[in-house]
C-alpha cells in the first residue's frame, strides 16, 4: 500500500497520534502463524494472566478489550447494581470524553466533583457519598479515579489508599482508569501493585494504546469478590475479541524487557524537557505571556497563553485547547517524541512569544 502520510511529522496534541511501537508490531507478527483457539483460550491470553498476577496480585485476572471506553464501561458495570452511581471528578474521562457511554450502555449515574488538580480525596468523595438510604437518589456504589489524571497529575500510593479506605468503609468499590498507568508507574518509580492492588484498588482499566499499542486495553480484576459477570458483560458490550491472541500479544510486549516502562518514561522525559526549556526561556526573559496551570508529572504539559498566539503556533504544530476561555492548552508527548521534536516545538513557541 502507498504510504499516505509524512512519517516524519510529529505533533503534541495526543499520545494517541503516535504510531505502533516496532516491538509491538513484531509481537503481533510472532503471534500470527498457525491456529490458536479463539475468544481467549489461546496461549498468549493464558500467559498474560501469569504476567498480570506477577505484576499486580496473585488474585488478579486480565480481560483484554478493544479500547478504553469499553474497559471503563465493562469494569464499572461489573461492580455496580442497576441502581448504582459512580463518584468521579468533573474532568474525568468517563464524564467528558466517552459520549455518555457509561450512562447509555451501563445505565449508571455519575456524581462528579470539581477538583483543582484532577484528583479526588476522601473529603471530596464524601460530598457525594451520601443518601445511601434514600430511594429517590442513585446509590453511590463506586469511586472512579484516573492515573495519571486528565490534568496530568499523579496519585501517590498513599493517596490511593486513603480513597480506597474511605470507599470500602462505605461499601463502595474503587475503580482506577489507567489509560496512562505506564506513565504513572514510570514517574513514581514503583511496581504497579504498590499503587493499585496493595493500595486497595478493586478493578482497573489497564491502558496500552497511548503507550504504543494498536488497539488493546484490558480490564484487570484485582478483587474478584467485588466483581460480577464480567465475562458476560464483556460480550454483551461488544468488547470480546475473537482473535484475542493479538490483543494479548500486544499487552505482553509492553511487559517484555521493560518496554512499557521505558516507552512511558521516555514520554515523561520529553514533557519535562519541553517544560524545562520553556521555563528557562521565561527565566532568561527571552519570552513572555506564557504560564503553566498544572505541574508536569508525567507526559502532559498544561500551559496558558493568549488564544491568538496559540492559534498561530497550532498552524505549525498541532495541539488541543483544554479550556479556551482560560487560554489553557495541553501539550502531550509520546513514546516516539524525540528531543529534536521538542526543541523544534520550543523554537516555534519562542518565535511567537519573543519578549
- The per-residue pLDDT for range 344-355, each reduced to its tens digit, is 999 999 999 996
Going 25 to 263 to 119 to 62, the CA torsion angle's sign is: positive
| Distance, CA of 93 to CA of 176 (rounded, Å) | 11
Q: Is 19 helix (H, G, I), strand (E, B) or coil?
A: coil
Q: Are 252 and 51 contacting, i.e. CB atoms less than 8 angstroms apart?
A: yes
Whether the link from the prior residue into 148 is cis, omega within 30° of 0, is yes
End-to-end, the C-alpha distance of the chain in Å comes to 47
Partner residues linked to 63 by β-bridges: 219
CA gap 253, 185 in Å, rounded: 16
Q: What is the pLDDT of residues 229-244, one digit of tens each?
A: 999 999 999 999 999 9
pLDDT band, very low/low/confident/very high, at 1 (cuts 50, 70, 90)? confident
pLDDT for position 130: 93
Task: Confirm if 75 and 205 have CB atoms less than 8 A apart.
Answer: yes
Q: What is the pLDDT of residues 59-102, one digit of tens each?
A: 999 999 999 999 999 999 999 999 999 999 999 999 999 999 99
State how far Cα 311 lies from the chain centre: 27
Q: How far apart are CA 18 and CA 211, in angstroms?
A: 9
Nearest to 146 by CA among 60, 103, 199, 206: 206
Provide the mean pLDDT of the chain.
96
Torsion sign over Cα 36, 39, 41, 47: positive
Q: Is the pLDDT of residue 30 over 90?
A: yes
Q: What pairing do the DSSP bridges indicate for beta strands 291-292 and 300-304?
A: antiparallel
Asked if the model's pLDDT at residue 253 lies above 70, the reply is: yes
The β-bridge relationship of strands 320-323 and 84-89 is unpaired
Taking every pair of C-alpha atoms in the chain, what is the biggest distance, in angstroms? 63
Instruction: Catalogue the E-assigned strands of 13-165.
Output: 61-65, 84-89, 109-113, 139-146
Q: What is the pLDDT of residue 259?
A: 98
- Tell me the C-alpha distance between 346 and 344, whole Å: 5
Calculate the CA dihedral of residues 231, 234, 236, 242 and round it to 10 degrees.
Answer: -90
pTM: 0.96
Cell numbers of 204, please?
482497573
- Phi/psi of residue 209, nearest 5 degrees: -60, -35
Strand 320-323 versus strand 328-332 pairing type: antiparallel
Find where cell 454483551 sits: 236
CA-wise closest residue to 119 among 142, 140, 146, 139: 146
pLDDT tens-digit series, residues 288-328: 999 999 999 999 999 999 999 999 999 999 999 999 999 99
Amino acid at each position: 500500500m502507498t504510504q499516505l502520510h509524512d512519517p516524519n511529522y510529529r505533533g503534541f496534541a495526543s499520545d494517541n497520534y503516535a504510531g505502533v511501537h516496532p516491538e509491538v508490531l513484531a509481537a503481533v507478527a510472532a503471534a500470527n502463524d498457525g491456529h490458536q483457539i479463539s475468544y481467549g483460550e489461546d496461549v498468549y491470553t493464558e500467559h498474560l494472566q501469569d504476567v498480570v498476577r506477577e505484576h499486580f496480585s496473585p488474585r488478579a485476572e486480565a480481560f483484554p478489550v478493544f479500547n478504553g471506553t469499553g474497559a471503563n464501561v465493562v469494569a464499572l458495570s461489573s461492580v455496580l447494581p442497576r441502581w448504582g452511581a459512580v463518584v468521579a471528578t468533573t474532568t474525568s474521562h468517563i464524564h467528558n470524553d466517552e459520549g455518555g457511554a457509561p450512562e447509555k450502555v451501563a445505565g449508571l449515574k455519575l456524581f462528579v466533583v470539581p477538583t483543582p488538580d484532577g484528583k479526588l480525596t476522601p473529603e471530596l468523595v464524601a460530598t457525594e457519598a451520601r443518601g445511601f438510604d434514600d430511594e429517590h437518589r442513585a446509590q453511590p456504589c463506586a469511586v472512579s479515579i484516573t492515573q495519571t489524571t486528565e490534568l496530568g497529575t499523579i496519585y501517590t500510593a498513599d493517596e490511593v489508599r486513603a480513597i480506597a479506605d474511605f470507599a470500602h468503609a462505605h461499601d463502595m468499590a474503587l475503580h482506577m482508569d489507567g489509560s496512562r498507568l505506564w506513565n504513572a508507574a514510570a514517574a513514581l518509580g514503583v511496581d504497579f501493585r504498590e499503587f493499585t492492588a496493595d493500595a486497595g484498588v478493586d478493578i482497573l482499566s489497564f491502558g496500552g494504546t497511548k503507550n504504543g499499542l494498536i488497539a488493546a486495553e484490558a480490564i484487570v480484576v484485582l478483587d474478584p469478590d467485588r466483581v460480577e459477570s464480567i465475562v458476560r458483560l464483556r460480550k454483551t458490550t461488544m468488547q470480546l475479541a475473537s482473535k484475542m491472541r493479538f490483543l494479548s500479544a500486544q499487552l505482553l510486549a509492553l511487559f517484555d524487557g521493560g518496554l512499557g516502562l521505558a516507552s512511558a518514561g521516555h514520554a515523561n522525559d520529553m514533557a519535562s524537557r519541553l517544560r524545562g526549556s520553556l521555563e528557562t526561556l521565561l527565566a532568561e526573559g527571552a519570552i513572555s505571556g506564557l504560564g503553566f496551570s498544572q505541574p508536569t508529572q508525567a507526559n502532559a504539559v498544561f500551559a496558558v497563553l493568549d488564544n491568538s498566539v496559540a492559534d498561530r503556533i497550532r498552524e505549525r504544530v498541532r495541539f488541543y485547547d483544554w479550556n479556551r476561555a482560560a487560554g489553557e492548552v495541553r501539550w502531550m508527548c509520546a513514546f516516539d517524541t524525540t528531543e529534536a521534536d521538542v526543541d523544534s516545538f520550543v523554537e516555534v513557541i519562542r518565535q511567537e512569544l519573543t519578549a
